[in-house]
Amino acid sequence: MFPHIRADFRRYLNAHGGRPTPGALWAAATEYGFLATVVYRYGRWTRRIRPAPLSWPFKLVYRLLAVFADLLFGINFSTNADIGPGLYIGHYGGIFLHGDMGHSCNVGQGVTIGYKGAGKSTRPPRIGNHVYIGTSAVIVGDITVGDHAVIGANTTVVKDVPPHYRVVSAAVRMTPIERETSG
């Protein structure tokens, strides 16, 4: 748990200049994305406590913290998801991370990663290392996103993405309005 949290913290510290000044340390430690990630890492740790009855008090604390993080930050993690170290969430709100992710990934605001919800998909997506996922991107189904891929803002991904590929939505097209609109 702690090595992953240290790697996550380094990503936030780098976003605040990279030098461990008191201001940068405070700014990194109070980022909503970082705080929600710490709660997730704690939740994953509680799953490994054996024998299981010993984990119950820790899991209760986790559930309370997870509800707090979900309501306050709008960031929802599944403890079934295996997320590597160095996760960076640049903004908060409307983020659902329910798939496996490699190390050093970036996640924007409004991102959804999870089950397809229809059909025969029984596995969530698997995201590689060093993947950038733009604002409001949706990645669903039993698919794989390769290492160093870039998923553009407002892009829905339902097919495998090879390593070192960029996926973006169709370009915006403007057309003139044929008649006057009211209201």
Catalytic residues: 91
Q: What is the C-alpha to C-alpha distance for residues 43 and 81, in angstroms, rounded to an integer?
A: 11
Structure tokens belonging to residue 77: 């993690």
Beta strands in the chain (DSSP E): 75-77, 88-89, 95-97, 100-101, 106-107, 112-114, 126-127, 132-133, 138-140, 144-145, 150-151, 156-157, 166-167
Structure tokens belonging to residue 39: 């709660």
Mode of pairing for the β-strands spanning 166-167 and 95-97: unpaired
Structure tokens belonging to residue 113: 């990663």
Instruction: Measure Cα distances from 120 to 115, 117, 123 in Å.
Output: 10, 9, 9
Q: Are 4 and 11 in contact (CB under 8 A)?
A: no
Strand partners, 75: 95
